[in-house]
């Protein structure tokens, strides 16, 4: 059996299956990466209302959901203390 352009239907089916598998694989890799890595954003704030030698560090952890990173979160703790 062939489609309107004369191509066998199994070729079109395999193309769709392959495309679907690539999409599922790429989404799975993205989800794995996003849930197993952490991002660090450093923001410097200056204000004339604060003394010149004033220093303050604020750490905000979000969306961790009881996640334990390798080595009992040692890399995360090291980055926070840095």
Q: Would you state the structure tokens that stand for residue 68, as one six-digit string? A: 């334990």
Cβ pair 69, 38 in contact under 8 A: yes
Q: Compute CA distances 48 → 51, 52, 56, 74, whole Å.
A: 7, 8, 15, 37
Work out the pLDDT band at 69, boundaries 50, 70, 90.
confident
> For residue range 28-45, what is the model confidence (pLDDT) as tens digits?
999 988 887 878 888 888
Rounded CA-CA distance 42/79 in Å is 11
How much is the pTM?
Answer: 0.55
């Amino acid at each position: 059996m062939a489609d309107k352009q004369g191509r066998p239907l199994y070729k079109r089916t395999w193309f769709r299956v392959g495309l679907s598998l690539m999409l599922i694989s790429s989404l799975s890799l993205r989800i794995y990466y996003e849930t197993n890595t952490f991002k660090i954003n450093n923001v410097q704030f200056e204000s004339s209302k604060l003394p010149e030698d004033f220093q303050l560090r604020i750490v905000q952890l979000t969306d961790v959901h009881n996640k334990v990173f390798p080595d009992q979160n040692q890399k995360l703790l090291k980055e926070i203390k840095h």
